[in-house]
Amino acid sequence: MFFAILGSAFSQERYVAEVGVQGGGTFYLGDANKVPFAKMGATYGGFFKYKLDKRYSFGLHAAGGFVQIPAFEEKGRTKTNFVDIEAIAEFNFFDFGLDKLKSTTKRATPYIFLGVGCVVYDNAAAFVLPFGVGGKFKLSERLNLGLTWTMEKVFADDFDKIDNPRGLNKGAFMNNDWYSKLTLSLSFDFWKVCPTCHSGLK
């Protein structure tokens, strides 16, 4: 990290891969809680991204943590431990980089993302649909700082250990279970583009 910060901040070199770590808080929304950011738990994880250009990237994300489940009717307060793995497509609103020769390139950019994944929680598993917004900032040529808010739609109704309490015939698309993550990330760019190499990558 020290040598990355000391590197040239305004180089035109481009890297097509990124690896990082993230951590922060997570909360649950469903039958037992309707208030965002209430009773936060902890989350942590890592990711790998492949950058198609300065706007679009695809990545593989993995995270773990727990959410607090408030008391609900006759059920007491509890928590759900989870681990998820997700494939995510990301779009930057600005060309992200430090190339000062191009006016469209910005050191900071907001972004949006959408993906698919799977979450394992306690003794069960379900598909999830992650989506959200974030912002990122280049600390140096290869070092990035990011802030991300992710919403996770869970395609099951027992993530909160409260499985369809009203006995409704609503199916996976109509259940109430969501969880959300607010995370800070630090990442490092690698796999430099090499114009003189046969494959274009170094």
Are 93 and 134 in contact by the 8 Å Cβ rule? The answer is: no
Is residue 198, in this structure, part of any structural domain at all? Answer: no
What percentage of the chain carries pLDDT values higher than 90? Answer: 63
DSSP strands (E only) in 30-158: 41-51, 56-69, 78-92, 95-96, 105-106, 108-121, 124-138, 143-154
* pLDDT value of residue 137: 97
Does 163 fall in a domain? yes
The verdict on residue 9 lying in a domain is no
**Quick check: is 174 in a domain?**
yes
Report the distance separating Cα 68 and Cα 87, nearest Å.
25
User: Which residue range forms the structural domain that includes residue 177?
Assistant: 16-192
pLDDT digits (tens, 9 = 90+) for 117-145: 999 998 899 999 999 999 999 999 999 99
Token pair listed for 84: 């998820």
Token pair recorded at residue 201: 């990558």
pLDDT band for position 1 (cuts 50, 70, 90): very low
Q: What pLDDT is stored for residue 76 in this prediction?
A: 77
Confidence of residue 8 (pLDDT cuts 50, 70, 90): very low
Give per-residue pLDDT as tens, 51-68: 999 999 999 999 999 999
The answer, yes or no, to whether residue 4 has pLDDT greater than 90, is: no
Reading the block at residue 168, the tokens are 């409704």
| Residue 5 placed within a domain | no
Question: Is 23 contained in some domain?
Answer: yes
Highest mean pLDDT among 1-10, 23-32, 99-108, 168-177: 23-32
Q: Note whether residue 8 is domain-resident.
A: no
pLDDT value of position 77: 84
Residue 173, domain CATH: 2.40.160.20
Strand 105-106 and strand 95-96: the pairing is parallel
Our count of domains for the chain comes to 1
Which residues sit opposite 186 in a β-bridge?
21, 145
Q: Residue 64, class by beta-carbon neighbours within 10 Å (0-12 exposed, 13-18 middle, 19+ buried)?
A: middle
